[in-house]
Structure 1
Amino acid sequence: MIHHEHSGPRPMPFQAPQGDLAVLAGSANQELSKAIARSLGLRLTPAETHTFSDGNVFVRVLENVRGRDCFIIQGVHHPVNDNFMELLFWIDALKRASAQSVTAVIPYFSYAKGDKKDEPRVSIRARVCADAIEEAGADRCLMMDLHSPQIQGFFQIPVDHLYGRYVLAEHISSMGIDNLVICSPDVGFAKGASAFAKLLGVPVVIGNKERTDHTEQAEVLEIIGDVKGKNVVIVDDFTISGGTLISMAELLKARGANDIYAAVSHAALTESAGPKITASPITKLFTTDTIEPLPKKSCEKLQIVSVAEVFAAAIRSVHDRTSVSMLFPENPKQK
């Protein structure tokens, strides 16, 4: 039996006041959860996960949460199905423990890619997951940079959509890169790239990407815009193999770009992706800490910027019944 103990030995029974805030860490995002708790000035509510030898997952809250606003932090990344089932079990455990409310804090929701029926006889996986989260008893969700923002409409409960581009743009701005251009790898992310560029006050160029199958490789065919003599940051919501970023970087170099960077909210990198990115024309790959663990050793160019304060501010806003959208005042959709 594999045993994950999240918060040390079981504490003495604790009686919480009505409406008190409780933040719990699932096994998927331990380090981010600790950072969020520190930002909130709280300790993580003691909890534990057991994974038995046959793969069964058992979760337990080690403190009284009756009448409390509970936030369970559990991303849905590799191993995706294990992490998703654990999330459902945490929601169920908290509801059965008489929590006043349960908010599922999902830093990375990988099934967001399955947002439509674009082929015959396929599942709309994001919708199935939304139904399961609601059925388990969640009252609300906090998610960051969904692949398709319209997934919020799959839920009957409120979904607060957070953005990683604010901390990424702030980090890039602090580097003082001159003659900068933001590059979207395809038309689909053009709006996100434009919002990113607006934060930095720089122009945007757009790539034309074609994907012919379900592999993680895509061919970048052309670039709309001038990059000659420019320093470029390729932006996207996530990367898995790094293939699109690398293809775009190679094309940018061929079009006369100088230094090339990449910035993604979620680095769901495979084992082979790190060495490929390290060997590519990309100078640095900026990403957030929504996914653990990140292969820092295999990808020497990886630079991590924490989004703990963004999640902490959103959790505080939900708990205090204030506006989460006010955290992103420069986004026209959030005014």
Structure 2
Amino acid sequence: MSNQVASQPPFPIPNPSKGGEKVFDPFGELKIFAGKASHDLALRIARYLGVELARSETILFSDGNVFVRILENVRGRDVYIVQGTEHPVNDNFMELLFWIDAFKRASATQVTAVIPYFSYAKGDKKDEPRVSIRARVCADAIEAAGADRVLTMDLHSPQIQGFFKVPVDHLLAMPVLVEHFARKAIPDLVVASPDVGFAKQAYKFAQMLNTGLVIGNKTRRDHTERAEIFEFIGSVEGKNVVIVDDFTISGGTLIEMAHACKARGAKEIYACVTHGVFAAGTAERVQKSPIKELVITDTIAQRDPSVIPSNCVIVSVAPMFAEAIGSIHRRESVSRLFQGYEGVKI
């Protein structure tokens, strides 16, 4: 008897690129599952695609063990598990691995790990003696669990894609954030990067908004979140400034950069990051800072309103993830999502 899984019959699914028109998909049924960390985002993605969020459950036992269970048939299906790795990082990461394993054992045709926020991406190199390259260990674990591909957003270091042997689709929140500030039409605007490491992305941000760019340079004395801006390239005098970065935990880097801009004659200060991690005390620090508005995306579920600064605005990247999932499912290009942004190569 053959062990091959029979192909699924064509399945009607809305095609977002065709205005939601129902098309018969020759690649079979697409299923979106939600891990405990990213349920709300997964629900928004499913709604955008016009499909029901697939049924599943996650149980955390009293001894700390995580248990996951699929509550519907996935044999021969194209499965997407949406699970970020924010706090509690290790619990959420282990849950992701268990989901991947469960889908493979249930004979899903393709399992894509959709990781809106890949926390261990910060551990991308061996920059001091006798330390682990944590992002590489995580990549190996995701592959060993059986993931066929990975879909993620704004990795702290893009080279992490090379840690994987399976395909990685790396989305950028930049178009969504740019659109937010473009609608505001802020006069005399300049984009600022708080360090040289993010300068390349900040340059693309500035190109999209047709503004100038300034670059700060920060240093950290230890592994705490506190950063010090000690150099500054460019002028912000008489300008409104939007500080851009990939994530913030304590708000320290953004706040230090905001103070540096104010000290050099800047007018209003805005900031935006993809991932609002928000450790305890961040909300109060950001609210008391010169930052008028902090814009983040919904890659991380903000379940406790008290951790969100009152001057924070959340924009959704669910449509971008949904479009990417639709493209992967239909074997179409994902890079098309970044076309039409003033010729800037993202």
1:290 lines up with 2:299 in the alignment: yes
Give 2:311's aligned residue.
301
Alignment-mate amino acid for residue 133 of structure 1: I
Distance 2:232 2:261 in 1: 8
Give 2:199's aligned residue.
190
Distance 2:144 2:268 in 1: 48
Distance 1:306 1:296 in 2: 17
1:189-235 deviations in whole A, cap 9, x for unaligned?
Answer: 00010111111111110001111211111101132101011000000
Q: Is the 8 A contact 1:19 1:100 kept in 2?
A: no
Distance 2:69 2:117 in 1: 23
Shift of 1:296: 4.1
Give 2:66's aligned residue.
57
- Residue 243 of structure 2 aligns to a residue whose secondary structure is strand
1:80-132 deviations in whole A, cap 9, x for unaligned?
Answer: 00000000000000000100000000000010000000001000000000000
Distance 1:201 1:332 in 2: 11
Distance 1:270 1:195 in 2: 29
**Which residue, 97, 106, 111 being the options, matches 1:97?**
106
Give 1:327's aligned residue.
337
Distance 1:270 1:82 in 2: 17
**Which residue, 180, 185, 208 being the options, matches 1:199?**
208
1:311 lines up with 2:317 in the alignment: no
Aligned 1:235-250 pairs, distance under 5 A: 235-250=244-259
Give 2:224's aligned residue.
215
Distance 2:306 2:92 in 1: 24
Shift of 1:19: 2.6
**Which residue, 161, 164, 174 being the options, matches 1:152?**
161
Distance 1:35 1:277 in 2: 28
Shift of 1:27: 0.4
Distance 1:159 1:178 in 2: 38
Give 2:3's aligned residue.
none
Give 1:28's aligned residue.
37
Distance 1:29 1:224 in 2: 38
Shift of 1:295: 4.9
How many percent of aligned residue pairs carry the same amino acid?
64
In structure 2, list runs of 5 or more residues that go unmatched: 1-7, 10-26
1:60-81 deviations in whole A, cap 9, x for unaligned?
Answer: 1100000010000000111000
Give the count of matched residue pairs: 320
Distance 1:76 1:197 in 2: 30
- Please provide the CA RMSD for this pair: 1.4
TM-score (norm 2): 0.90
1:142-169 deviations in whole A, cap 9, x for unaligned?
Answer: 0100000000000000000000111011
Distance 1:294 1:177 in 2: 31
TM-score (norm 1): 0.93
Distance 2:285 2:40 in 1: 26
Distance 1:269 1:291 in 2: 10
- Residue 36 of structure 2 aligns to a residue whose secondary structure is coil
Shift of 1:333: 5.0
Aligned 1:115-264 pairs, distance under 5 A: 115-264=124-273
